[in-house]
Amino acid sequence: MALYTLPNVPLTETLGVDSGALVLPNAQRYPEAWYGGSGIPGPAETIQFSFAQLSDGDYSLTRSVNGLEADTLLRGLQQVNGTEFLRYEVMDRSGLRSIGSGPIWHYAPIHDSPGDTGFSALTDSIKLVLVRFKLRTQDRRAIKNLWRELSIAVSLRNAGLVRNASCGDAPRLEVVLTGEPFDVPLRVELTWPPAFDERDGEADVFQYTLYRRRVTDAIPRPIASIPPDAAKPEYNYTDTDVVGGETYVYSLGATDCTPTQSTLVQSAPVTVNED
């Protein structure tokens, strides 16, 4: 469960991926199970950091979210005395101890299940990630390259975190989602009233999420994230990413600060006319 907020992140980087959709560096498929509710991926994305060797012998540090195209964060890196860039420390009865650089992966499908022991459960015990590398910098006065050694200890603050439901129960949505197709241009207009828990009840709705699937698809995909607005008597969204002749089913969920999502409500099937 992600506990930070980046409002401008694309929706594809804010949800979990399909079961078995990612191939890890150790050739394992991840995730090995669906972790979401209501038949949709869970809200915890997969972030992968990699040290890739370049043609000049240096390394770059890249980051990829949910297997999407990787962003390059740093270039001009080297190992320190041949040691690995990353090392992990876990907490046991004797305190912190190093377990090297891995690879370490959680192969039990469900956390805290009977099979989540030994090597699989080790990932949940990681408290520190030790990062060490040399960074090539330029001395502008001497006009030459210099190497600086950096060592960083990254604590995993979420490890062993107790999840508190400060917003109370899951949001009550209790609305009807309506979809109406139009021809010029091809689009579907979606409307719904405010959730019960937005302006009444616990008044803790932080976000609405719209999902769409073709009737031939099994899993709905997020298409929009909309914040609540007390000035609106109802909400509207125009879906222009539709194909003539296709039939779609839309779903809507309301999320509170926990974040916990409500039970999804579905629209009736919406058929878009041919071009």
| Domain boundary pick from 120, 140, 155 | 155
- Cα separation of 131 and 165, whole Å? 33
Quickly list DSSP for 188-240: EEEEEPPPHHHHSTT----EEEEEEEETT-SS-EEEEEE---TT-SSEEEEE-
Residue 173 scores a pLDDT above 60? yes
SS3 call for 63: strand
Question: Are residues 145 and 96 part of one domain?
Answer: yes
Question: Are residues 88 and 39 part of one domain?
Answer: yes
Query: Quick one: pLDDT at residue 264?
Result: 92
Mean per-residue pLDDT for 169-179? 93
- Cα separation of 238 and 188, whole Å? 6
Q: What is the pLDDT of residues 28-82, one digit of tens each?
A: 788 877 766 666 777 678 888 889 899 888 999 999 998 888 999 999 999 999 8
Query: Quick one: pLDDT at residue 164?
Result: 55
Question: Are residues 208 and 150 part of one domain?
Answer: no
Question: Are residues 182 and 151 part of one domain?
Answer: no
Domain count, the chain: 2
Question: Are residues 218 and 100 part of one domain?
Answer: no
For residue 128, tell me if it sits in a domain. Answer: yes
For residue 4, tell me if it sits in a domain. Answer: no
Mean per-residue pLDDT for 175-203? 94
Query: Quick one: pLDDT at residue 158?
Result: 62
Residue 250 burial class via C-beta count within 10 angstroms: exposed 0-12, middle 13-18, buried 19 and up: buried
Question: Are residues 104 and 183 part of one domain?
Answer: no
Residue type, 242: V
Q: What is the pLDDT of residues 133-157, one digit of tens each?
A: 999 887 777 677 788 999 999 887 6
Q: Please state, for a pLDDT cut of 90, what percent of the chain lies above it.
A: 33
- Determine the structural domain holding residue 232 and report its residue range: 178-271
- Cα separation of 275 and 272, whole Å? 9
Question: Are residues 68 and 149 part of one domain?
Answer: yes
Question: Comparing 195 with 27, which gets the higher pLDDT?
Answer: 195
Looking up residue 264, the CATH number of its domain turns out to be: 2.60.40.10
Question: Are residues 195 and 148 part of one domain?
Answer: no
Q: What is the pLDDT of residues 207-252, one digit of tens each?
A: 899 999 999 988 888 898 898 999 999 999 999 999 999 999 999 9
For residue 167, tell me if it sits in a domain. Answer: no
Residue 23 scores a pLDDT above 80? yes
Query: Quick one: pLDDT at residue 1?
Result: 42
Question: Are residues 187 and 139 part of one domain?
Answer: no
Residue 267 scores a pLDDT above 90? yes
For residue 80, tell me if it sits in a domain. Answer: yes
E strand map for the chain: 22-23, 29-30, 47-53, 59-65, 71-78, 86-92, 95-98, 126-139, 144-155, 178-182, 187-192, 207-214, 221-226, 235-239, 247-255, 265-266, 270-271
For residue 94, tell me if it sits in a domain. Answer: yes
Residue 124 DSSP class: G
Question: Comparing 165 with 157, which gets the higher pLDDT?
Answer: 157
Query: Quick one: pLDDT at residue 2?
Result: 45
Question: Are residues 233 and 194 part of one domain?
Answer: yes
Contacts of residue 137, defined as CB under 8 A and 6 or more positions apart, other chains included, come to 76, 145, 146, 147, 148
For residue 1, tell me if it sits in a domain. Answer: no
What mean pLDDT, rounded, does the chain reach?
A: 84
Q: Which long-range contacts (CB under 8 A, 24 or more apart) does 136-142 make?
A: 136/58, 136/76, 136/77, 136/78, 137/76
Name which of 17, 41, 37, 38 is nearest 29 in CA terms. 17
- Cα separation of 270 and 275, whole Å? 15
For residue 170, tell me if it sits in a domain. Answer: no
For residue 188, tell me if it sits in a domain. Answer: yes
pTM to 2 decimals? Answer: 0.64
- Cα separation of 52 and 2, whole Å? 26
Question: Are residues 102 and 31 part of one domain?
Answer: yes
Question: Are residues 117 and 195 part of one domain?
Answer: no
